[in-house]
């Protein structure tokens, strides 16, 4: 007995369902292989087993600058066809003409930007000239006349205020004090004492009714005005 026969007998003994005739059957009688495509189709068709759909596609949104460039390109093509659609020129000549047009367009854009910047600069200069007018220093004699007019109308408080303003303008014009909106009466007095101490008594006589009216808000009478007026006349004559 050969080795094959021994193995065959052993296999038949282990499984009686097989017959020896089946083992000797020709290969042509073997069962057909399964249809793998059909099996795969049936497996995929089972609901809920597989998720074969791809991720949702995001619609493409074209940037605005691409649309602008396309519009400019279309306008350029339309202009080119309108100008040279019926003219037969060589490719070299067409490139030269196109370059010339581009240069001219660039120069026009540069000139337009220059005009805009020049107008903006002029507008800013005009605005500054309107908001920052040149103010001349106050005239002490004009202020003194206004103070006298107020005193003639018995408005001695207003006259005292105007007379003090005339005094500051007079001393500022002489360089004895520096006129400033933030300077107080004490600041002006100290500056005047350091520059010309002989003028301090007249300054004090003029400043007294001013302080009474401006700070204490008291009424000013004719005697106070007359003393301040006399001090201003003496100050102006020195």
Each residue's pLDDT tens digit, 41-97: 666 666 665 555 556 666 777 788 888 888 888 887 787 777 666 655 566 666 676
174 vs 90, which has greater pLDDT? Answer: 174
Each residue's pLDDT tens digit, 100-146: 777 777 788 788 878 888 877 777 766 555 544 445 678 889 999 99
For the chain, how many helices (H) and strands (E)?
10, 0
Domain final position from 113, 131, 149: 131
Displacement of CA 117 from its chain's centroid (Å): 17
3-state secondary structure of 119: helix
Domain final position from 131, 148, 182: 131
Do residues 110 and 153 both lie within one domain? no
Measured between alpha carbons, how far is 161 from 166 in angstroms, rounded to an integer?
9
Alpha-carbon distances, residue 52 vs 14, 47, 95 (angstroms): 46, 12, 54
pTM of this prediction? 0.44
Mean pLDDT of the chain: 75
**Where is mean pLDDT largest: 24-33, 117-126, 227-236?**
227-236
Half-sphere exposure of residue 107: CA atoms within 13 angstroms, side-chain side: 6
Asked if residue 190 belongs to a domain, the reply is yes
Asked if residue 97 belongs to a domain, the reply is yes
For residue 109, give its domain range. Answer: 64-131
């Amino acid at each position: 007995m050969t080795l094959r026969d021994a193995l065959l007998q052993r296999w038949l003994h282990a499984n009686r369902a097989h017959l020896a005739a089946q083992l000797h059957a020709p290969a042509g009688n073997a069962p057909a292989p399964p249809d793998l495509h059909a099996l795969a189709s049936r497996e995929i068709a089972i609901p809920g087993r597989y998720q074969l759909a791809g991720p949702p596609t995001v619609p493409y949104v074209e940037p605005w600058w691409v649309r602008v460039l396309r519009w400019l390109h279309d306008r350029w093509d339309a202009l080119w066809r309108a100008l040279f659609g019926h003219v037969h020129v060589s490719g070299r000549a067409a490139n030269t003409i196109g370059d010339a047009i581009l240069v001219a367009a660039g120069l026009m854009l540069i000139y337009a930007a220059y005009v805009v910047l020049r107008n903006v600069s002029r507008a800013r200069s005009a605005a500054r000239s309107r908001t920052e007018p040149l103010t001349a220093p106050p005239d002490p004699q004009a202020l003194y006349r206004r103070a006298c007019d107020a005193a003639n109308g018995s408005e001695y408080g207003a006259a005292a205020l105007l007379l003090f303003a005339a005094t500051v303008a007079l001393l500022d014009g002489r360089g004895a004090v520096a006129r400033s909106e933030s300077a107080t009466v004490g600041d002006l007095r100290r500056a005047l004492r350091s520059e010309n101490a002989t003028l301090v008594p007249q300054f004090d006589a003029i400043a007294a009714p001013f302080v009474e009216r401006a700070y204490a808000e008291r009424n000013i009478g004719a005697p106070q005005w007359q003393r301040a007026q006399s001090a201003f006349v003496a100050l102006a004559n020195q």
